[in-house]
Amino acid sequence: ALLRSPVPDLSFHRGNPVQCSSLPLSSMDCSSSKETPPHKAWWTGETVAVVTGANRGIGHALAARLAEHGLSVVLTARDEARGAAAAAELRARGLPSVRFRRLDVTDPASVAAFASWIRDHVGGLDILVNNAGVSFNEIDTNSVEHAETVLKTNFYGAKMLIEALLPLFRRSSGTSRILNLSSQLGLLNVSDHAVK
């Protein structure tokens, strides 16, 4: 199978610049210009990846990319209609291993129901991508309520989901992974003297 990337990645492979999207999956090491032997994929079609907040943006792109690599993907979103539509769009693109399940990471009942569904209907997971998050970009006008919403979603939501799903991870040093995404807004730049 060939990798297909919506944004071509110009990198070096075996000393020559190439588009990584044109490389066979087994030789996907585009991080170095040194010659490297082809790598065997550590995942299979049985590898289950859960991607939160995947109805659009980075989460949607990650869900698509994982499905393109042949993984079984559970795409989650708070909004049932948007999440179902996002999963249907990926299946229409020829990615049948994508399924949708509603999940609100800020709601303990939703997290518990999702964990039960993973256990009962999927049998476990190998990869968790904590992508669900909220942002209020105008930091000067950010209210306490907005800050509480950001913390509840971006920190406590991810923490609660990890705690609920950790017992369901398949025990494998080769495939078990948790990826937590954040934004640049998580950084504080104190170069502004008014902030100091």
- In this predicted model, what pLDDT tens digit does every residue of 102-152 receive, in sequence order? 999 999 999 999 999 999 999 999 999 999 988 776 666 667 787 788 888
Give the pLDDT of residue 16: 33
Please tell me the distance from the alpha carbon of residue 77 to that of residue 59, in angstroms, as a whole number.
10
22 neighbors 44 (Cβ within 8 angstroms): no
Distance, first Cα to last Cα, the chain: 53
Cα 122 to Cα 1, 6, 8, 114: the distances in Å are 25, 29, 33, 11
Please tell me the distance from the alpha carbon of residue 179 to that of residue 130, in angstroms, as a whole number.
6
Give the pLDDT of residue 190: 56
- 8-63, pLDDT tens digit by residue? 332 323 333 333 333 333 333 434 345 555 677 888 888 999 999 999 999 999 99
Cβ-in-10-Å burial (0-12, 13-18, 19+) of 84 comes to middle
pTM over 0.75: no
The domains of the chain, with CATH numbers, are 1-39 (no CATH), 42-182 (3.40.50.720)
Give the pLDDT of residue 148: 84
Largest CA distance in the chain: 54
Nearest one of 161, 142, 140 to 150, comparing CA atoms: 142
Task: State which amino acid sits at residue 25.
Answer: L
Instruction: Name the β-bridge partners of 125.
Output: 169
Please tell me the distance from the alpha carbon of residue 99 to that of residue 123, in angstroms, as a whole number.
14
Give the pLDDT of residue 28: 38
Does residue 3 carry a pLDDT above 50? Answer: no
- 73-110, pLDDT tens digit by residue? 999 999 999 999 999 999 999 999 999 999 999 999 99
Q: Which residue has the higher pLDDT, 153 or 146?
A: 153
Backbone angles phi, psi at 23, to 5 degrees: -85, 145
Q: Residue 70 has which token pair?
A: 């042949």
The residue assigned the tokens 């229409």 is 92
DSSP 123-141: --BSEEEE--------GGG
CA atoms within 13 A on the CB side of 47: 21
Q: Residue 135 has which token pair?
A: 């942002």
